[in-house]
Chain A
Amino acid sequence: MTYTLPPSEQQDEQSTRAVATSRGVESPAPKSRNRGRIALKNLRREIPSSVLAIMFIFLIVLPMIFIIIAAFSTAVPRPGNPDVGTFTWENFAILGTDRGVQSIINSMIIGTGAGLLSLIIGALLAFIAARTDAPWKRFIYIAGIAPMFLPALVGALAWSILASPTSGHLTLFLRDIGLGGGINIYSYGGIIFVLGLYYAPYTFMLTYSSFAMMNADLEEAASVHGAGLRKLFGSVTLPLAVPALAGAAILSFTLAMENFPVNAILGNPAGIETLPTYIYGLMVGDPQPNAAAAIAIALTAAVVIVTVVQQRVVNRKRFTTLTGKGNRPRPVPLRGLRWVATGFAVLYFTLSVGMPMIALVLTATSKNVYINRFMDLFEGFSFDRIAQAIGQSDFRESMTNSIIMAIAAAVVGTLIAFLASYVRYRSTSRLGQLLEQIAMSPLAIPQVVLGMGILWVWLSLPFPVYGTIALLVIATLAVNMPQGYRSISSSMLQLDGDLENSAVMLGAGRMRAVRNITIPLMRTGIVSTLLLLLMLGLREMSAILFLYTSDTRVLSILVFHSFENGSISYSAAISLVFVLLIAVVAIATQVIGIRERKFKDASL
């Protein structure tokens, strides 16, 4: 028997809670005559959340319903197509065809390969940047996130210029210096390489904070108990990072699997068809929209399953390692490998940003479009092609459209995200949680699929939205809702709700309190959400693939279009401007991030 001093307060509290909960069940329900009034009161309270719910229905829920209807019907919803069709399972037969099976297998191979590759690159870079004594740490961090600002579409385009089997710049260069050919970007390996390269920043960002904020005490405890550095890494550091690593790997798996542009640009010449390109083919080439809907459902199901598994894994393993308090973890000495680690980051940056940008510049400016020696590229340069591209009216229109669409989607998206987050975390609405789930659901819906659903919804609704830029804004809003919502919510959760309440207590109306207190205090969160959505909106392509019309093309579509029409040099020229535009927004985002960190450091 051991003796202790009186039990601590904490234990008591727990027991009180347990009692309170069990008591609660017994207590009487409100008197029946109150019910009507309470119902009315609840109704009034649910007005903002109902408005949001209606928006979400149009943005996300209805499109998915239309996809499901189309998948089980013999006809596609379209104006002037009065019959709804009859129920059928036939559409799913396409999944059993050789081509269907092959697409599923290809998607799995590419998703898995790219997921693993991006995990390895991203996590390794994150570890080097966060936990080692490698030189040029700042550069390594930038190298880890920079490729995010190069849309995968542009990356794929650049790599097809660089490493096509006979005439790629890199292929020719290696051949000219006698290193043989053998490079072929139009292959499983090539697609996995490019996707892995451009999704690595996502794994980098997800794992970086996990490595950087890992509680050093845990590691120190292990080293006190005699674990060597190598063993420490294997037995403590790595397992602690597992949730972040698993989450990151699965995120890039789903992103790679549902990616359209890379699979289209690199897969088509190789005859490698994946689910998204198959859907595109069935929507565009050989129109069987009902079959496309069936495949869309299969693809969505796959992504949903994987996402659910990911959440299970991450939630189960959430031991509290990310306290953020405590001392900074000590850097791991790499000794002789210090420059190897930095070299790895330099190599990654070269492959993901350096070489692609050079290839685009060369293709857009070199006098020789078709070359069979590497040096042919340097025989002469002219900016005519870029000037011509920029002078083209369709370029100017697309540019304007891109900017209008991105700004509109960013502003409205931030507003909706703010409202949804406010309803979820600041109001007593019962719909809050449901709204959150809907807002986050596009993460599990491939963008191509959501775009398809939106097409059919707005073609069928009696509003003149189809053919206007508003439709592109709607699609962009829908697919980027999770990012916007998450970004705003994290900022709102950091803000104590009583800051706003105290303004109300002091006599301000709720709206006024939001305006005077909440919005100014969330300023950085709101602005960075806005810029994030702006950047995502500028890059958007998969979701609007079926939605743009003659006068509502945007830059990403123009790049893809000119590529499809065979004008590689033209699309390289547009890509350059496109990347420049995104870079401006990206840099603005970074600058604000840095300012905010400084502000926070100063106020601590």
Chain B
Amino acid sequence: MRIRNTAFASIAIAALALTGCASGDSDSVVSGDADVNVEDGLVIDGELIADKETYEAAKEQTLSLYTGYQDANQKAFNDAFTADTGIKVEYVRDVTNKLSERVLSEHGAGRLPADVIITSDYKVANEFGEAGIWEPYTPLPIEGEDELQHDDGDFTTFANVAVTFAYNTQLVSEENAPKSWMDLLDPANDGKIGLTTGTAGGSSIALNRFIQEEVDPDYWTKMAALNPTIFDSGGQRQEALARGELNVATAGTASVNVAVTQDNAPIMMVVPEEGLVLFSFFAGKVADAKNSEAAEVFLNYALSKRGQSAISQVGDYAARADVDPPVSAGIELPPLDSEQVWIMPAEDELEYGAADAEIWKSAFGR
């Protein structure tokens, strides 16, 4: 028996040693100069985020968040939220479809632990509504502004994510860098283009629609001829670009921003002549959420000026028009109403999503 004890003891010691290590503070992308006032409820930069009763309850809770939002951005946003409100967040980030499958299964089994869900796919959010997953909630800062609310207030536009492309600055000089979506079809990029699967999630839905409407219906076929590498996730795609395995790749402006400012990744994004492609992330409160108050505070914060500018600071477009466009990797991006910004109309997905995905699939033989 001594032997067994020794073995367990050594494992336990290893575990303790590891978990006992101090947590490191990361440099925050979001500036910390918010004016937080907790005298009567929670007021940040003059906007009411939570009344006293709600805030008192929420402070004791740990919010459980399911999100399809980019990992690094979500992390930065959550950090800002926790710093400003003192409410902790536990989140799980996964690709849209896996997240949706999980939410539907867990909800069906009566074990959905999430208090707030963020997804980029209108159709998925719509299905959640049919399954009774949402509890309609209007965030305090946007009361009366219906254009950000969908499906009778089930969920709210939380952020707009810009899809563009980026290039590796060590492999492509600035003057040779592509300026438009059509430039990507340069034969020099043969085998050096990175894409993600065109069938998963809001970004591909928006990009597919944009390509059909604004660029060239045969664009994907022409792209396929250049043997692009198709990744399962955007993270892998950007890592490959940063490591110089690709010349160019489609990219989210926010994650480029994080990689450039935090990790000194040798990549740079482009504002294409045809435009940046924006698609929305939707956030909603889960019915019977265990941490209901924390969920409300989170949604209020997310749609507050402070929360929205946090989104802008991580490199994404805010949902609210009264917040400045993001500066990404040193480039000031065009405002929401610019010609160079194309926003995916959320409800259009139901009409075009499947057909556009078929076009993409047949182009790439998937």
Q: Which residues of A contact B (CB under 8 A)?
A: 78-81, 98-99, 164-167, 186, 264, 268-271, 281, 283-287, 368-370, 372, 384, 387-388, 390-393, 396, 399-400, 403, 459, 464, 466-467, 523-524, 527, 530-531, 534, 549-551, 553, 563-569, 577, 580-581, 584-585, 588-589, 592, 595
Contacts and interface: CB of A to CB of B under 8 A. Distances in A.
Interface string B224-236: 0000011111111
A545 B100 CA distance: 15
Interface in B300-315: none
B14 A285 contact: no
Interface string B10-32: 11001100110111101000000
A134 B10 CA distance: 35
Contacts of A369: 242, 263-265
Given A287-B97, A370-B265, A403-B11, A459 B235 contact: no
Interface in B1-16: 1, 3-4, 6-7, 10-11, 14-15
Interface string B247-281: 00000000100000001111000000000000000
A223 B348 CA distance: 82
B113 A585 contact: no
A249 B242 CA distance: 39
Q: Shortest 9 CB-CB distances between A and B: which pairs?
A: A391-B23, A566-B235, A80-B108, A79-B108, A550-B92, A388-B24, A565-B235, A588-B7, A167-B243
A467 B111 contact: yes
A524 B90 CA distance: 42
A186 B230 CA distance: 13
Nearest to B235: A566
B200 interface: yes
Interface of B: 1, 3-4, 6-7, 10-11, 14-15, 18-19, 21-24, 26, 64, 66, 71-72, 90-93, 95, 97-98, 100-102, 104-111, 113-114, 131, 170-171, 197, 199-200, 229-240, 242-245, 255, 263-266, 365-366
A464 B106 CA distance: 10
Contacts, number: 190
B105 A466 contact: yes
A269 B18 contact: no
A553 B96 CA distance: 18
B104 A80 contact: yes
Contact of A549 (B92, B200, B233, B239): B92
A368 to B, nearest CB: 8
B330 to A, nearest CB: 17
B243 A166 contact: yes
B9 to A, nearest CB: 10
Contacts of A268: 231-232, 236
Contact of B90 (A271, A399, A551): A551
Nearest to A394: B90
B98 to A, nearest CB: 4
A264 B232 CA distance: 9
A388 B27 CA distance: 11
Given A80-B108, A286-B197, A387 B366 contact: no
A123 B105 CA distance: 47
A226 B100 CA distance: 72
A460 to B, nearest CB: 9
A551 B14 CA distance: 22
A166 B197 contact: no
A310 B193 CA distance: 43
B6 A588 contact: yes
B160 to A, nearest CB: 21
Given A286-B197, A400-B19, A281 B232 contact: yes
Given A369-B263, A565-B233, A567-B235, A285 B243 contact: no
Contacts of A287: 97, 100-101
